[in-house]
Amino acid sequence: SQKIEQNSEALNIQEGKTATLTCNYTNYSPAYLQWYRQDPGRGPVFLLLIRENEKEKRKERLKVTFDTTLKQSLFHITASQPADSATYLCAGGTGGFKTIFGAGTRLFVKA
């Protein structure tokens, strides 16, 4: 079945460092990947989208890559801050309305 897999272990980093989260997809080829942020008790909030023909996309301190050979996307937060602590969800779709989500990776940024 089509899957998006993210590291289920929480990522702990020091403030100011770069956080890198991994998203792998299996059994399908998404045309795009999205990254969302989810805080406790809230719904996910869209951050970035990258299409399969794009290698890299940036938005402020965020950078996303899409490697169709490795079937992987990397999500980077540079100069991380405690306010960046949240769960980050990766999602991939092939078109239409159906988007497959991963379970998310929890990020903790320590001051």
Partner 1 sequence: ETGVTQTPRHLVMGMTNKKSLKCEQHLGHNAMYWYKQSAKKPLELMFVYNFKEQTENNSVPSRFSPECPNSSHLFLHLHTLQPEDSALYLCASSQDMAGGPVGSSNEQFFGPGTRLTVL
Q: Which residues bind partner 1 (CB under 8 A)?
A: 4, 8, 31-32, 34, 41-46, 49, 89, 91, 93-104
* Residue with smaller CB distance to partner 1, 43 or 111: 43
Least distance in Å: CB of 87 to partner 1?
A: 10
Q: Which two tokens stand for residue 64?
A: 């996303």
Q: Are 41 and 70 in contact (CB under 8 A)?
A: no
Q: Residue 110 contacts by C-beta under 8 Å, 6 or more apart in sequence?
A: 12, 13, 14, 15, 82
Q: Which two tokens stand for residue 71?
A: 């079937």
Least distance in Å: CB of 22 to partner 1?
A: 15
* Residue with smaller CB distance to partner 1, 84 or 104: 104
Q: How far is the C-alpha of 75 from the C-alpha of 98, rounded, in Å?
A: 22
* Residue with smaller CB distance to partner 1, 20 or 99: 99
